[in-house]
């Protein structure tokens, strides 16, 4: 898509020009929004944790509780060896081949250990696959996939001469960010969410990793950040918004390694740009949706090259009255997740953009 630099006057509304009642209403909207997001994140974490506990209880039943407890420490020692030793991490072909050889040896050792326990491994595999499918169902239900905009025919981008578009550029009126409950059963999490109304930058980072997973371990992060502005409705209608994002860094990568020869995984890296308006919910446009099953390997890609312009069209989730002050926010939300059974995994995401300009109008305006 082409990019049009608007030379006209910045339309950002000074804070004091918005009536106090509308500013207070926005604060209440933001608090209710945060409660909604936290409630869903909490339900997701509890759902995954409960599913994991159920799975482990069934597996222990197959093995036998006494046999499971008697061999637990031996299993932990095998799993701990999958953690990378800094003394081994010399970046050359020889060290990489040695690392791969070590992983293969440990995988065979772990595989033999499971078979020596003498339980029905075929039944365990069937239960495991059913559990992974249930975990995917829980996450799909609770990460707001229903709030996405269905893809339609491409629409022409607005031009500065078109009325009644209003144009916004940095500095914007407001900034906001939120990191929902990051969680998991084991492993490490690094994440950040930053935004600047002054510069127009929105920036998310997520890095989750786990070596030596046991019987169904999981990790996730869920974060969002945005910049926003006020708009007075010239006529009743819904908001139509175009936003131009300049890519600073939008790469995603990871690896997945087998640990036992009898393993499974579900990986998802989901990045979505969005519009949020006061008193409503987000409207998402998906930019990255990378998924991976149990096939081991590495991956690395990016949405676009640094400096590239991404233009996206949005419509608000509700209508507003003529003369009503509406707060609108443009942002990005990243969901980074994996569920692994006897696999090592790292998942990393960066979503860093400069919100260069935004065009807004009411669909009810002539």
- Cβ atoms 164, 153 nearer than 8 A: no
Query: Per-residue DSSP letters for 194-215?
Result: EE-TTT-EEEEEEEEEESS--S
355 vs 98, 294, 301, 362, CA distance in Å? 45, 37, 22, 21
d(CA 332, CA 286): 10
Query: Residue 109 domain-assigned?
Result: no
Query: Residue 56 domain-assigned?
Result: no
Q: How many domains does the chain have?
A: 1
Range(s) of the domain holding residue 229: 18-48+134-362
d(CA 100, CA 82): 11
pLDDT at 325: 96
Average of pLDDT values for 46-64? 92
What's 301-344 look like in SS3? Answer: EECCCCCCEEEEEEEEEEEECCCCEEEEEEEEEEEEEEEEECEE
Query: Residue 70 domain-assigned?
Result: no
Closest CA to 208 of 172, 244, 183, 233: 183
d(CA 100, CA 95): 9
Query: Residue 4 domain-assigned?
Result: no
Alpha carbon 10 to chain centroid distance?
32
Tokens 């995994």 locate to 345
Query: Residue 159 domain-assigned?
Result: yes
pLDDT at 91: 55
Query: Residue 292 domain-assigned?
Result: yes
pTM for the predicted model, two decimal places = 0.89
16-31 pLDDT, tens digit each: 789 999 999 999 999 9
203-261 pLDDT, tens digit each: 999 999 998 887 789 999 999 999 999 999 999 999 999 999 999 999 999 999 887 75
Listed in sequence order, the DSSP H helices in the chain are 20-63, 65-80, 93-116, 121-142
The confidence band for 66, taking pLDDT boundaries of 50, 70 and 90, is confident
d(CA 99, CA 338): 23
Query: Residue 111 domain-assigned?
Result: no
């Amino acid at each position: 898509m082409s990019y049009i630099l608007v030379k006209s006057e910045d339309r950002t509304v000074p804070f004091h020009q918005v009536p106090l009642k509308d500013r207070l209403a926005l604060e209440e909207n933001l608090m209710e929004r945060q409660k909604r997001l936290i409630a869903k994140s909490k339900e997701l974490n509890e759902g995954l944790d409960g599913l994991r506990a159920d799975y482990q209880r069934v597996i222990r039943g197959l093995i036998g509780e006494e046999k499971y407890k008697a061999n637990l420490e031996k299993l932990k020692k095998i799993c701990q060896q999958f953690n990378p030793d800094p003394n081994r991490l010399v970046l050359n072909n020889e060290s990489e081949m040695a690392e791969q050889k070590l992983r293969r040896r440990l995988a065979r050792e772990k595989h033999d250990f499971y078979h020596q326990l003498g339980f029905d491994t075929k039944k365990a595999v069937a239960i495991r696959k059913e559990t992974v499918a249930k975990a995917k169902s829980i996450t799909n239900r609770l990460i707001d996939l229903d709030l996405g905009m269905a893809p339609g025919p491409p629409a022409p981008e607005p031009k500065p001469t078109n009325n009644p578009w209003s144009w916004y550029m940095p500095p914007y009126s407001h900034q906001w960010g939120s990191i929902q409950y990051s969680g998991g059963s084991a492993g490490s999490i690094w994440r950040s969410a930053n935004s600047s109304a002054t510069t127009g930058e929105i920036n998310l980072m997520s890095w989750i990793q786990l070596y030596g997973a046991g019987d169904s371990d999981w990790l996730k992060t869920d974060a969002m950040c945005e910049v926003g502005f006020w708009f007075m409705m010239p006529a009743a209608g819904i908001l139509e918004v175009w936003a131009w994002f300049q890519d600073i860094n939008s790469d995603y990568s990871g690896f997945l390694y087998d640990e036992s020869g009898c393993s499974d995984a579900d990986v998802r890296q989901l990045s979505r740009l969005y519009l949020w308006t006061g008193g409503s919910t987000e409207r998402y446009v998906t930019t990255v949706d990378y998924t991976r099953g149990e096939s081991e390997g590495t991956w690395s890609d990016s949405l676009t090259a640094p400096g590239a312009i991404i233009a996206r069209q949005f419509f608000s989730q509700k209508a507003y009255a003529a003369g009503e002050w509406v707060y609108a926010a443009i942002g990005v939300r990243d969901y980074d997740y994996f569920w692994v059974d006897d696999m090592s995994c790292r998942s990393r995401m960066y979503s860093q953009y400069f919100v260069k300009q935004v065009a807004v109008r009411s669909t009810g305006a002539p």
